[in-house]
Every structure is written in C-alpha cells, then in structure tokens.
C-alpha cells in the first residue's frame, strides 16, 4: 500500500454505480489483496480498493494518484487493475 495521498486533485473514475460494481467484481473480488476478515484481522490490504469503497459512499471521486493507478484517461479506467493478483482456483 502506498498510493493513498492527502488532499489533491480528485477525479471521478466511474460514471455510475453499476460501472463501479462491474469493475470491482472483475478486479477486487478476484484479487488476493481484497478486503480480508480472518485470524483476528479485518481490513483493507489494497489502497485502490479502499479508495474506491470510500468514494462509493462519498462523492464518487478518488485522488488523482489513484486515478493514475487505475489508468483513468478522463473517460474510462483500464479493464484490469495493474495491482490485481488473481486468486488461484483449484
């Protein structure tokens, strides 16, 4: 983790909640770094997921730094998160 920064320019990476939910299910939900609850630990392991969740319940914006990690070009974000580590399915 290290992409979270203080108050800076903010961007709106998703135009609506369903776009956010689709991206999150394609990336965060399939990632080993997703929100975790086990062995007494409960919390975020990824700054991207944390920023997106907070933005969902706030005003839909994230810092410009998170936008860059998402490869936000002013209209769209990258299909795949560059930090995603896919969960292996046996």
Is-contact 28 36, C-beta < 8 A? no
Tell me the C-alpha distance between 34 and 49, whole Å: 7
Tell me the C-alpha distance between 15 and 39, whole Å: 37
Is-contact 11 62, C-beta < 8 A? yes
Question: What residues does each domain of the chain span?
Answer: 17-69
* Per-residue CA distances from 39 to 36, 42, 43 (Å): 10, 8, 12
Give me the tens of pLDDT residue by residue for the chain, a chain 90 residues long: 444 445 569 999 999 889 999 999 999 988 988 888 777 778 888 999 999 999 999 999 999 999 999 999 999 898 899 888 887 765
Is-contact 49 43, C-beta < 8 A? no
């Amino acid at each position: 983790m290290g992409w979270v920064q203080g108050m800076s320019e903010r961007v709106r990476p998703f135009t609506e909640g369903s776009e956010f939910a689709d991206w999150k299910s394609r990336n965060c939900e399939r990632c080993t770094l997703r929100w975790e609850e086990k062995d007494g630990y409960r919390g975020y392991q990824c700054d991207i997921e944390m920023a997106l969740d907070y933005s969902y319940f706030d005003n839909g914006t994230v810092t410009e730094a998170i936008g860059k990690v998402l490869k936000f070009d002013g209209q769209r974000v990258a299909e795949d998160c560059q930090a995603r580590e896919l969960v292996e399915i046996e």
